[in-house]
A and B are shown apart, each in its own frame.
Chain A
Amino acid sequence: DTGVSQDPRHKITKRGQNVTFRCDPISEHNRLYWYRQTLGQGPEFLTYFQNEAQLEKSRLLSDRFSAERPKGSFSTLEIQRTEQGDSAMYLCASSLGRSDGGNQPQHFGDGTRLSIL
């Protein structure tokens, strides 16, 4: 179990630029979640994948955000035309699925900290 890894750890970019983050989940985990966390707040749900299918996307997520998990393994989160308000820690988590649809513990990566200048 090598854990969930995220890349890069830090990203500094100018407003208006596009950024892409990568998440490599624990290999046998079929569920993958993206969250956004700002200082002093809890992780905010962004989107959820089961294998390669994106089953849920937060209504808070604007059209500038898109996520993929093309082969049901790693995932990418892209933010287009970044804005100052996008500055946050972006966390990825993975978990095993249950046949009854229930939840298993989520394992988090160390996150990507995005700073918009």
Chain B
Amino acid sequence: GQQVMQIPQYQHVQEGEDFTTYCNSSTTLSNIQWYKQRPGGHPVFLIQLVKSGEVKKQKRLTFQFGEAKKNSSLHITATQTTDVGTYFCAGPPSYNFNKFYFGSGTKLNVKP
């Protein structure tokens, strides 16, 4: 069945270091969304990418959608302690908009 994997599972960085999480889907996605979940909280929407090869930036965050629409990445420049949380990619398979699959997540810890 549909699988969306993310690597790494955990990442510990020193404040100021960069961070990247990679998302890979077993099938082509219609679009991809990224969410952040703080400890004890619920997922919060960050961004959506729709087009093949699309790149979007939000301040220190850069999101990329692969050419084949099967992979994506999130890069954070100069991490801050406020970046702590788990980052999930998610999206519907191209064959069915009604399903929505989340990745396994990357948990980021930032040491001050």
Contact = CB atoms under 8 A, between A and B. Distances in A.
A88 to B, nearest CB: 14
A98 B73 CA distance: 25
A93 B37 CA distance: 14
Interface residues of B, number: 28
Given A43-B43, A110-B42, A111-B42, A103 B31 contact: yes
A48 interface: yes
Contact of A43 (B45, B48, B92, B102): B102
Contacts of B104: 41-42
B102 A56 contact: no
A105 B107 CA distance: 21
A42 B103 contact: yes
Nearest to B88: A42
A35 interface: yes
A48 B98 contact: yes
A87 to B, nearest CB: 17
B43 A108 contact: yes
B99 interface: yes
Interface size class of A (residues with CB under 8 A): 20 to 34
A94 B1 CA distance: 25
Contacts of A40: 105, 107
A105 B48 contact: yes
A103 B30 contact: yes
B98 A55 contact: yes
B102 to A, nearest CB: 4
A15 interface: no
B73 to A, nearest CB: 16
Contact of A41 (B45, B90, B98, B105): B105
B44 A108 contact: yes
